[in-house]
Amino acid sequence: MRAIALLGVFILAKIVILTGHSIPLSGWTPIAYFWQDVMVALVLAGLDAAIRRPWLSWTLYTAAVGYAAVNVPVERVLSSPLTWPMMRAAGGALSDSILHHATPANLALMSLVAATGIALPLLLRRIEFRGWPPSVIVGFVIVLAGPVATSRVETIGLHRNAIAAIMASSLPHLSASAARVHPEEDWRASPFDENSSTHDLAYLRGMASGRNVVLVLLESTGARYLRPYGASVDPMPNVTALAREAIVFEHAYAVYPESIKTLFSVLCGRYPAMDSGVASTDEYSRISTPAIANGLKGAGYRTALFHSGRFMYLGMDDVVANKGYELLEDAGAIGGKRESSFGVDEPSTVRRMLAWIDSLPRKDRFLLTYIPIAGHHPYDTPEPGPFPEREESDRYLNALHYADASLGALLDGLLARGLSEKTLFVICGDHGEAFGQHDGNFGHSLFIYDENIRVPYLIAAPGLVREQVRVANTVSLMDTAPTILDLIGLPIPTGYQGRSMLDGGDRMALFFTDYSLHLVGLRDGCWKYIYEPESARSKLFNLCEDPDERHDVAPQSGERVDVYRAHLARWSTAQTALVAPGRAW
């Protein structure tokens, strides 16, 4: 009886979650969406029969109903039940975002599911059910057919039961035990010799020798929302102005749609650790490849990193520690006039950065790294922005405008100090942000469409670069460290998986996410490929003809899909082995 009641609760929760989504219709659809719910109900029935302790069975039932209710608003917003990586991320820093979604509608839906969990056992108690053996057999058949159904129906992960998802995310997605690791292998070399974008920037090598370096990672800033990348509005006019006399990379990609792992790839020129569901943050304290600040500090630069957020979030302290920064300051050290769960206001961080610059002897060169938080959900700003806030995407544009104002204040501060033409500026987004461009895709961490991972990337050197240079080569944020070293004429150490953007020739960008669904992908010239190992489903897009990734041509491109899938499988396994416990990488 408890198992049937729980299945009823799961079915109601799934119907509420799926409302508003595009549901593919086929004979496999019901099995695809509900087989995990049946599986968990069967497990409860088995435990019920085995333990024969009503109080314990009711405790398990109550916990399952409560967890299903909590996940309803989560899945409606993020198209994913909670996973261990998501639970880790939902700490104090995200409390403002969580409260933003504690709406009357979401609370009512949670209450509906919980009330159903109370009512169903009372109703079922009046029914004498005699069909247990056939029902159990049918349940097992549905569960056995479930993986096949999931491979045939595009569910965007909404087929997952909340309890099954949290348990599955605690297990490794990949095995590295049999991997043959080849650190020297060029994973970004295209298996197809057809890349036409070969913008050679070798003439810029060493052009910024002796200059200061300012590296800015703009929070949640997707390329598609900015004027230099074709947007109809201009939320970041200072970035637009800077782009007029800058090298503008048209196809720059984050390696992961989340800030901390992106930061690691930028600082250390390497892919971040895979399988974040099971890995601890100590992988980043074992890195042996010198970070960009290590290289510049060794060349006599003063180095500092300022973050308007908090280093304790998701192991960021391990990412930035021992990376060559003589000064590390986050929201706690900076203080500010306005604080949120994320950190402090950007003007306070800008003032602190300029004060640090003022404290240096005028002859000293410096590396300044600035990581703002403006642009992060819930897109709060201290004052109204220029865009009427009809949709959440309008709030986002106003948050970008606020971030841009602080960037402008930093640029103006350097200009006023006579440092602008003595500085190399590298400005990029750390990842993108999605607003339903694809079904269920909101935010940034869970998918790897272009709205999640394609970012703006500008290199400016006032006085040296006097006009806009647009580069169509595909580049990765992982290329940042070697590119900066190349621009200022310092040797590039071995161990980087990124390479200088000044080199000629186009290369692939590789990226992944494992916060929820495990997804890996690549950009190869015009082609964008996404693979979901759990369902073995592939998607292939020709971005030159279909920049919004609307038309999946994988069914018509079997050979290309097979080659890309095999390449990403080898890369994923090798990368997992590289960061295995106890290994220096």
Nearest to 527 by CA among 564, 501, 502: 564
Q: How many CA atoms lie within 13 A of 314 on its CB side?
A: 21
Lowest mean pLDDT among 50-54, 203-207, 280-284, 433-437: 280-284
Strands 366-371 and 442-443: unpaired
C-alpha span between 420 and 77 (Å, rounded): 43
Q: Which helix (H) or strand (E) holds 367?
A: strand 366-371
pLDDT digits (tens, 9 = 90+) for 528-583: 999 999 889 999 999 999 999 999 999 999 999 999 999 999 998 888 877 665 56
The predicted model scores a pTM of: 0.92
Listed range (21-30, 32-41, 194-203, 278-287) with the worst mean pLDDT: 278-287
Condensed to tens digits (0 to 9), the pLDDT of residues 315-364 reads 788 899 999 999 999 998 998 766 554 678 999 999 999 999 999 999 99
Could you say which DSSP state residue 450 is in?
H
> The tokens of 223 are what?
């390329």
- Determine the pLDDT at residue 303: 98
Using alpha carbons only, how large is the chain's radius of gyration in Å? 25
DSSP class of 464: T
Residue 330, SS3?
coil
**What is residue 307's predicted lDDT score, i.e. its pLDDT?**
96
The letter for the amino acid at 241 is A
Residue-wise pLDDT for 76-107, tens only, equals 888 889 888 877 766 655 556 667 667 888 88
> Alpha-carbon distance 490 to 495, whole Å?
15
What mean pLDDT do residues 512-520 have?
92
Whole-angstrom CA distances from 431 to 178, 352, 388, 446 are: 32, 25, 24, 12
Name the DSSP letter for residue 360: S
Predicted local confidence at residue 133, as pLDDT: 74
8 Å CB contact between 366 and 214: no
- Which domains can be identified in the chain, with CATH numbers? 2-168 (no CATH), 208-505 (3.40.720.10)
pLDDT value of residue 184 = 57
Q: How far apart are CA 238 and CA 230, in angstroms?
A: 16
**Residues pairing with 3 in the sheet:** none
For 126-167, write each residue's pLDDT tens digit: 776 665 678 888 889 999 999 999 999 999 999 999 999 998
At 172 the pLDDT is 67
Mean pLDDT in residue range 416-420: 97
C-alpha torsion angle, residues 162, 164, 170, 176 (rounded to 10): -130
Q: What is the DSSP string of 41-62?
A: HHHHHHHHHHH--HHHHHHHHH
Instruction: For residue 199, count CB atoms less than 10 angstroms from its CB and return exposed for 0-12, middle for 13-18, buried for 19 or more.
Output: middle
List the single range of 15-29, 78-92, 266-280, 520-534 with lowest mean pLDDT: 266-280
User: Which amino acid, 298?
Assistant: G
